[in-house]
Amino acid sequence: MAQFATNTTLPRYLRDEQDKIEKIARAHGLDFFPVIFEMLSYDQMNEIAAYGGFPNRYPHWRYGMEYERLSKSYEYGLSKIYEMVINNNPSYAYLLEGNSLTDQKLVMCHVFGHVDFFKNNFTFRTTDLDAGEHIADPIRRADGYEPNRRWVDKMANHGSAVRRIVDRYGIAKVEEFIDVCLSLENLIDPWSRFVVRRRDSQPDEEPREVEVPRLRSKDYMEEFINPSEYIQEQKRKIEAERDRDKGKFPAQREQDVLLFLLENAPLERWERAILSIIRDEGYYFVPQMQTKIMNEGWASYWHSKMMTQDVCDWSEIVDYAENNAGVMATSGGRLNPYKLGVELYRNIEERWNKGQFGQEWEDCDDLDVKKNWDLRLGLGKQKVFEVRALYNDVTFIDEFLTPEFAMENKMFTFNWSNRNERFEIDTREFQAVKEKLLAQLTNFGNPFIFVEDANYENRGELLLQHDHRGVDLRSDYARETMSSLVRIWKRPVSLATQLEGKRALLRFDGKEHGVRHDAP
């Protein structure tokens, strides 16, 4: 643990506030890990924020870059970080020294919302260090669920492991390799912990006799309905296919490219250690990227509820409202995840309170009836708690974004206009808005890339497959990333993708980049 964490204690008056707010949060039904608040000066805040919330990380220039950005935007009065909380058990949250008491209270309320989300949303189960390789049922938890999420320690351990390597091989060499790993950081499989991807096949087992499916027929019609030449031909086809796949490695394509490289690439021991650290940390941040809208929305939902109902007195309410308005502002046509999230939760709460769901509601065409629809079910609170546990951003938007909501919140899609060289509003049509939003959130905005063949063309080359879903890869970055792959695989690497509607095979052999358009 960093020094400041043990040295600084929260001032008495803030401790009292914390106790008060904690009680209120519990009374509302929030269920969170213990929360430890620390008070930081702005440069400590910027430092920790640059490290992604952790007091100790491995050395790397990009933290310095982030630090410079944060400090400059603070110094020029552009923005400051009010709060920060890490998904850890116990959770650490940081308060900025010099903020007004109202602000500190707001941050505390917000933090309890986040920590409740960390503890209860299913995607965060992957950050339980004691969860095992596969999480068969992410919903079920033992009574008194107290998972091991000591990521602060784990990150610090990563830090000292990398420092040891640096002492031995020099910072330049190690940092260069970290850059290589970071350029592959997003090639992981976010759902791998919930799904069994690799089936254990028994390689020694004799393959079963090929059985060609036949159409049902009476005996005397058999020759006509299932002619034997056809059956033979099908049999040969299936066998040929099986033979082709027999020597294939990996047997099934692999989305966790990093894991595949860890297991199969010719790396030195220290390189393997670093790659493995990058991969672990990459997975740690996955749930936060999968639930950005939900997580911020939930925390904002609770800070506004608790602040206005329980915490603020009359002298504070104006300051709170002003601050809250700043956080929720949407400007320049940008979607604010805080705002979108909180409005969706409120919308869900209202709909379930009034019974605006189910078959009857869906089938109703009368706008007037719909507007005044109120069955007084009072299921809203129960529903939002359920939603925060069982959904991620994709399913959240997919299920709860309604045409009415999109219209009320003035949502639109925009596209790049080549003619005017600017982004322009495309349409406000609901289907289009929803599709675009979902497409952006899917795989948290990363392309789907798989290891297809590790012995491509029988030359030990690596073949990756990009599942093209309408948007091309950025080609200059793709080329650079290919060099990173070659650095690790040590043999030429190819990537099958599409460019401008045509299939293309990018290849890098360590010296030259090539593109072939007649790809497989």
Interacting positions 325-354 with other proteins (CB under 8 A):
326-327, 329-336, 339-340
Interacting positions 39-78 with other proteins (CB under 8 A):
43-44, 46-53, 56, 59-65, 67-70, 72-73, 76-78
Minimum Å distance from CB 282 to other proteins? 9
Residue 24 or 109 with smaller CB distance to other proteins: 109
Interacting positions 101-140 with other proteins (CB under 8 A):
106-107, 110
Residue 146 or 176 with smaller CB distance to other proteins: 176
Instruction: Please report whether residue 420 would count as binding other proteins according to CB under 8 A.
Output: yes
Nearest to 87 by CA among 47, 136, 120, 56: 120
Residue 62 or 381 with smaller CB distance to other proteins: 62
Interacting positions 289-328 with other proteins (CB under 8 A):
289, 292, 296, 314-315, 317-319, 322-323, 326-327
Minimum Å distance from CB 78 to other proteins? 6
Instruction: Please report whether residue 399 would count as binding other proteins according to CB under 8 A.
Output: no
Instruction: Please report whether residue 171 would count as binding other proteins according to CB under 8 A.
Output: yes
Residues 6+ apart with CB under 8 A from 156: 1, 54, 55, 56
User: Which H helix or E strand runs over 273?
Assistant: helix 269-290
The whole-angstrom separation of Cα 462 and Cα 476 is 20
Q: Which two tokens stand for residue 249?
A: 């490695």
DSSP 83-119: EEEE--SSEEEEEETT--HHHHHHHHHHHHHHHHHHH
The residues that bridge with 426 in the sheet, in sequence order, are none
The whole-angstrom separation of Cα 122 and Cα 475 is 36
Instruction: Please report whether residue 360 would count as binding other proteins according to CB under 8 A.
Output: no
Q: What is the phi/psi pair of residue 466, to 5°?
A: -100, 120
Q: What is the phi/psi pair of residue 59, to 5°?
A: -70, 135
What HEC string does 498-512 produce? EECCEEEEEEECCCC
- Binding segment (CB under 8 A) for other proteins, from list 132-140, 221-229, 264-272, 442-450: 442-450
Instruction: Please report whether residue 428 would count as binding other proteins according to CB under 8 A.
Output: yes
CA 193 to chain centroid: 13
- ∠ CA 106-81-71 to the nearest 5 degrees? 160
Instruction: Please report whether residue 187 would count as binding other proteins according to CB under 8 A.
Output: yes
Q: Which two tokens stand for residue 187?
A: 């090639």
Of the residues 14, 475, 503, 509, which one makes contact with other proteins according to CB under 8 A: 475
Please name the amino acid found at residue 211: E
Residues making up the chain, counted from first to last: 520
Minimum Å distance from CB 473 to other proteins? 6
Of the residues 29, 34, 170, 445, which one makes contact with other proteins according to CB under 8 A: 445
Of the residues 206, 211, 219, 476, which one makes contact with other proteins according to CB under 8 A: 476
Of the residues 268, 416, 457, 502, which one makes contact with other proteins according to CB under 8 A: 416
Cis omega (within 30 of 0) for bond into 203? no
Residue 101 or 318 with smaller CB distance to other proteins: 318
Instruction: Please report whether residue 170 would count as binding other proteins according to CB under 8 A.
Output: no
The whole-angstrom separation of Cα 508 and Cα 485 is 9
Interacting positions 249-288 with other proteins (CB under 8 A):
285, 288
Minimum Å distance from CB 468 to other proteins? 11
Residue 383 or 507 with smaller CB distance to other proteins: 507
Minimum Å distance from CB 356 to other proteins? 23
Please name the amino acid found at residue 225: I
Count of residues that interact with other proteins, criterion CB under 8 A? 110
Instruction: Please report whether residue 480 would count as binding other proteins according to CB under 8 A.
Output: yes
Minimum Å distance from CB 306 to other proteins? 15
Tokens 């020759």 sit on residue: 223
Instruction: Please report whether residue 83 would count as binding other proteins according to CB under 8 A.
Output: yes
Cα 118 to Cα 43, 86, 296, 439, 516, distances in angstroms: 27, 9, 11, 25, 46
The whole-angstrom separation of Cα 359 and Cα 117 is 30
Residue 233 or 322 with smaller CB distance to other proteins: 322
Please name the amino acid found at residue 150: R
